């Protein structure tokens, strides 16, 4: 069969691609866009809070900004950006040519994108959702406009994409590993992506149900949350947090994985306590499901339940502490290189520990009555999410950029970016601990002067400006560095993704690699000839065909959502018919892909 | 392209897991069912939380009649059995047996769905609308989601049966049939829980 792909246009190629590397890059681009959008929303909020009684935006707009900021950052920025790295890097790290379900992989991306676009269209169509990213009922069920409908359906669609992505990674990591790549030889980033995917699998369906109920309640008059006819509002909180707490670990675990790779590479040492790291990751993943009610201490679930959930929450600090010490010992005695990637990893440690400490404070259920719903909580979760997840994303970006885009980001600009961002971040959020302790509630559009929080709020806003300046430096860096062509292994890497040529060939590995040790490439560098051994002779490589169907499946749901929101059910039916029709075509059309010929591979690899 | 060729005589004993694609599908589908389990668990939790929230509407004691539900349960359990027969035939390489037993499964599934629709109509007549009470909403949501799964299963399996009516067993379609039968068992197991938690505990 001939390579029909090659003749198609570039745009068509990207729209139909099932290549995990291209999908990874699309996740990064889309996630980066939403990250900037969420950042803009944050800056607008911080300007409003710069002075007491300030009149920059209305309270309604503030609520919408607040809701969209949180929702965007969690669902449309942090997670997709992590998926970008997972998609590109995980198959390379395990020596695979592709993921287990290339078609579903592309479907997952398009569902996420259409869901995200739907959610954001609410800005122009009657106002964005305004009930917080947690959308508590009855505020969201009875006192909010169409914005919440966009929230419900947008998240439902993008959540479906996330679920699909999670299953895909699980199966990829279990079934697609190269010979010799046993589970206990997998790089930590792959391990943490694996555990995070398992969390996605078991956490997201709870959100699916929550959103389904909220949708039925709002659009079809169901009464789960209507107390006057026997409903119960706490059910929403349970469903939301059964999903929501695992969600924060879905975010932080892959970031932990990135730090493990980066710290070990730039300390020129094997990761300290590899197996302890793996088990700590598994334990965190498991305990992550046992603690959701720590978000509900003040709801009134009773002292016994509160105590149990408090203790379970504090238990997570143990495996997390194990990890922190292992990172420190990895650096201990190493030849540390202070690259931008490594600076972010090093700065992560104290920043995240601070977030962990405030987490334990919050988990003290009695004290939580004082902290809950104040800026103290805001400070806590920004320390763990920015100091953890976002630092991880930046670290991973600087580390893997040469692999993904073939050029190195400028280190000088990178360091400026790092220091400005680090400083801005702590300036913004450190003071919020005190703002919260002094009693300023979270999610308020303004505050009165003379309560001792005016200056602190001003300082916080200044920090936010610094972070924006830093982010602009990153964008500049991405553009001006294009000329810094990178070699295939710029960091003297340890894992398989650095063993292949740059740019990465579409089949990844001309010959499936044979893995002989943990840190496979490093092992060959120190014990072999520096080249990965092949597990098979050079042969034709089978590749899956691209497909436009994922876009149609996602588009169908997108249309159906409008039908639901505006109760125009013919549109709903047409939308669903498009989706089901595309699924039907997919199901009856056997597509066996194509082959890349041995001769072409030889040419590309420059051998023979 | 070897997997597209018919191997009626030389099929391995587990044709559904003989290729990497088949293995991936198999494992991926198990994971999917894990997610579905959480989905139904959430719906069960919601129902249990709300089943006494009947407001002025009818209660479950007013409505449920075990005889109808018992017949439905038997039909669905039998449909699981027929799908097992289909899989046994598939592993033996008997394509005709596979097709016939799968159609039997579809037929029983459709009967079940018919009874369920009838049941809902009776309840609505009796005054239990979807919006009547929190009990009503959560009941229809849980049982209706299950019914939706049955409907999807019927459509899915019928599609496979029509698409492959003349194909014989191949390494491509064996995993598809296998996965569809797994799905069918799953729906069946969920129903057993519904029968217990909703109906037995509700009369
Ligand atoms: C040692 C680890 C941690 C502990 C003990 C902990 C504990 C807590 C507690 C008790 C709350 C509830 C505060 C309240 O509303 O009164 C909370 C909120 C929160 N935590 Fe953590 N946490 C930890 C780590 C993390 C991590 C790693 C993340 C994210 C990557 C995270 C993200 C959040 C978020 C987003 C909220 C606020 C949710 C909201 O109400 O909007 N936490 N944490
Ligand atoms: Cu939590």
In chain B, where are the structural domains located? 16-50+60-200
Surface of B (119-178) touching A: CB under 8 A: 130-138, 141, 156, 159-160, 163, 172, 176
Is the pLDDT reported for residue A5 higher than 60?
no
pLDDT of residue A2: 41
Q: For the residues A136-146, what does the mean pLDDT come to?
A: 93
CB distance from A240 to chain B under 8 Å?
no
Q: Which CATH superfamily is domain A10-547+591-605 in?
A: Cytochrome c oxidase-like, subunit I domain (1.20.210.10)
Nearest CA-CA partner of A136 in A252, A14, A232: A232
Domain boundaries, chain A: 10-547+591-605
How much is the pLDDT for B10? Answer: 66
Contacts of residue B173, defined as CB under 8 A and 6 or more positions apart, other chains included, come to B160, B164, B167
Class of domain B16-50+60-200: mainly alpha
How confident is the model at residue B11, as a pLDDT? 73
Asked whether the predicted pLDDT for residue A46 surpasses 60, the reply is: yes
Rounded to the nearest 10 degrees, the angle between the axes of helix A340-363 and helix A375-384 is 140
What are B44-63's pLDDT values in tens digits? 999 999 999 999 999 999 99
Q: CB contact, 8 Å: A242 with chain B? A: yes
User: In the prediction, which pLDDT does B7 show?
Assistant: 43
pLDDT of residue A593: 86
CB-based contact B28 A170, cutoff 8 Å: yes
Q: How many CA atoms lie within 13 A of A233 on its CB side?
A: 15
Does the pLDDT value for residue A440 go beyond 60?
yes
Q: Is B34 on the interface with A (CB under 8 A)?
A: yes
Q: Are A477 and A417 in contact (CB under 8 A)?
A: yes
Question: What proportion of chain B, given as a percentage, has pLDDT over 70?
Answer: 95
Quote the pTM value.
Answer: 0.94
Per-residue pLDDT of A442-464, as tens digits, reads 999 999 999 999 999 999 999 99
pLDDT reported for residue A607: 56
What DSSP designation does A490 have?
T
Tokens standing for A324? Answer: 């922190």
Judge whether A207 and A159 are in contact, CB under 8 Å.
yes
- In this prediction, residue A589 carries a pLDDT of 84
CA of A122 to the centre of ligand 1 (A): 28
Ion ligand 2 contact residues with beta carbon within 5 A: A 245
Which residues make Cβ contacts (< 8 Å) with residue A407, sequence separation at least 6? A401, A481, A482, A483, A484, A485, A486
Instruction: Provide the pLDDT for residue A7.
Output: 57
- How far is A444 from A462, CA to CA, in rounded Å? 19
pLDDT at res. B97: 93
Residue A522 has pLDDT above 90, yes or no: yes
Expressed in angstroms and rounded, the spacing between residue A257 Cα and the centre of ligand 1 is 20
Closest chain B C-alpha to A311 CA, distance in angstroms: 24
Least CB-CB distance to A222: which of B27, B35, B137?
A: B137
Instruction: List all residues whose CB is within 6 A of at least one atom of ligand 1.
Output: A 134, 248, 251-252, 294-295, 313, 316-317, 320, 356, 359-360, 362-363, 368, 371-372, 377, 380-381, 384-385, 388-389
Atom of ligand 1 nearest to the CA of A294: 10
Q: Nearest C-alpha of chain B: how many angstroms from A411?
A: 42
Residue identifier of the C-alpha nearest atom 16 of ligand 1 = A372
User: What pLDDT shows up at residue A602?
Assistant: 84
Contacts of B140 (CB under 8 A, 6+ apart): B120, B130
DSSP 3-state assignment of A341? helix
What ipTM, to 2 d.p.?
0.94
Mutate to test the pocket of ligand 1, among A69, A348, A362 (most ligand atoms within 8 A of CB): A362
């Amino acid at each position: 069969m001939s390579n029909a792909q090659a003749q198609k246009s570039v745009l068509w190629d990207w729209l139909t691609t099932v290549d995990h590397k291209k999908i990874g890059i699309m996740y990064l681009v889309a996630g980066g866009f939403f990250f900037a959008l969420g950042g803009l929303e944050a800056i607008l909020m911080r300007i409003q809070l710069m002075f007491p009684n300030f009149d920059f935006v209305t309270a309604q707009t503030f609520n919408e900004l607040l809701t969209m900021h949180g929702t965007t950052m969690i669902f449309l920025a942090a997670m997709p950006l992590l998926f970008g790295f997972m998609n590109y890097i995980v198959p390379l790290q395990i020596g695979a040519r592709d993921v287990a379900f290339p078609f579903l992989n592309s479907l997952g991306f398009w569902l996420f994108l259409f869901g995200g676009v739907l959610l954001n269209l609410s800005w122009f169509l009657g106002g964005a959702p305004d009930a917080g990213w947690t959308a508590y009922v009855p505020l969201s069920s009875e006192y909010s406009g169409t914005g919440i409908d966009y929230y419900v359906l947008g998240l439902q669609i993008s959540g479906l994409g996330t679920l699909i992505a999670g299953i895909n990674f699980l199966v990829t990591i279990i079934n697609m590993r190269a010979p010799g790549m046993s589970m206990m030889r997998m790089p930590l980033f792959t391990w943490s992506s694996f555990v995070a995917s398992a969390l996605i699998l078991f956490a997201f369906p709870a959100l699916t149900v929550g959103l389904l109920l909220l949708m039925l309640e709002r659009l079809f008059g169901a009464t789960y949350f209507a107390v006057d006819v026997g409903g119960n509002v706490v059910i929403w909180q349970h469903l939301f947090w059964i999903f929501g707490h695992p969600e924060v670990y879905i975010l932080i675990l892959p970031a932990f994985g990135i730090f493990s790779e980066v710290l070990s590479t730039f300390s020129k040492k094997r990761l300290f306590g590899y197996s302890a790291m793996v088990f700590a990751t598994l334990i965190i993943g498991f305990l992550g499901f046992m603690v959701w009610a720590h978000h509900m201490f003040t709801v009134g679930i009773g002292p016994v339940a509160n105590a149990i959930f408090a203790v379970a929450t504090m238990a997570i600090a143990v495996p997390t502490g194990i990890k922190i010490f292992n990172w420190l010992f990895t650096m201990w005695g190493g030849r540390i290189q202070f690259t931008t990637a490594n600076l972010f990893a090093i700065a992560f440690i104290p920043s995240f520990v601070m977030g962990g400490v405030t987490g334990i404070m919050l988990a003290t259920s009695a004290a939580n009555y004082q902290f809950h719903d104040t800026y103290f909580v805001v400070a806590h979760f920004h320390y763990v999410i920015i100091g953890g997840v976002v630092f991880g994303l930046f670290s991973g970006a600087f580390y893997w950029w040469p692999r993904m885009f073939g050029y190195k980001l400028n280190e000088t600009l990178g360091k400026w970016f790092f220091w400005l961002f680090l400083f801005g971040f702590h300036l913004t959020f450190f003071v919020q601990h005190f703002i919260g302790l002094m009693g300023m509630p979270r999610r308020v559009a303004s505050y009165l002067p003379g309560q001792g929080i005016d200056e602190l709020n001003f300082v916080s806003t200044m920090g936010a400006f610094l972070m924006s300046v830093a982010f602009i430096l990153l964008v500049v860096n991405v553009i001006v560095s294009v000329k810094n062509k990178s070699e295939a292994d710029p960091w003297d890497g340890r894992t398989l993704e650095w063993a292949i040529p740059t740019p990465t060939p579409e089949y990844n590995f001309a010959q499936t690699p044979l893995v002989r040790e943990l840190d496979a490439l490093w092992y060959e560098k120190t014990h072999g000839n520096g080249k990965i051994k092949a597990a098979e002779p050079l042969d034709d490589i089978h590749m899956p065909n691209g497909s436009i169907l994922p876009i149609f499946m996602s588009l169908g749901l997108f249309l159906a959502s409008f039908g639901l929101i505006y109760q125009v059910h013919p549109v709903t039916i047409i939308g669903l018919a498009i989706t089901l029709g595309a699924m039907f075509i997919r199901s009856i059309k056997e597509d066996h892909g194509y082959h890349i010929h041995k001769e072409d591979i030889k040419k590309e690899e420059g051998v023979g | 392209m070897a997997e597209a060729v018919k191997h009626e005589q030389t099929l391995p004993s587990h044709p559904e897991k003989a290729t990497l694609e088949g293995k991936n599908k198999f494992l991926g589908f198990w994971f999917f069912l894990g997610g579905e389990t959480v989905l139904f668990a959430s719906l069960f939790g919601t129902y249990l939380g709300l089943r006494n929230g009947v407001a002025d509407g009818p209660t479950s004691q007013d409505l449920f009649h075990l005889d109808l539900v018992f017949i439905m349960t038997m039909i669905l359990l039998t449909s699981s059995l027929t799908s097992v027969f289909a899989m046994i035939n598939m592993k033996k390489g008997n394509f005709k047996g596979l097709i016939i037993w799968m159609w039997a499964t579809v037929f029983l599934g459709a009967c079940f769905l018919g009874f369920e629709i009838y049941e809902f109509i009776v309840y609505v007549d009796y005054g239990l609308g979807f919006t009547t009470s929190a009990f009503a909403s959560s009941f229809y949501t849980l049982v209706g989601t299950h019914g939706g799964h049955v409907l999807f299963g019927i459509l899915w399996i019928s599609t496979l049966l029509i698409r492959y009516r003349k194909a014989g067993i191949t390494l491509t379609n064996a995993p598809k049939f296998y996965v569809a039968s797994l799905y069918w068992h799953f729906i069946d197991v969920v129903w057993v829980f519904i029968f217990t938690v909703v109906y037995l505990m509700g009369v």
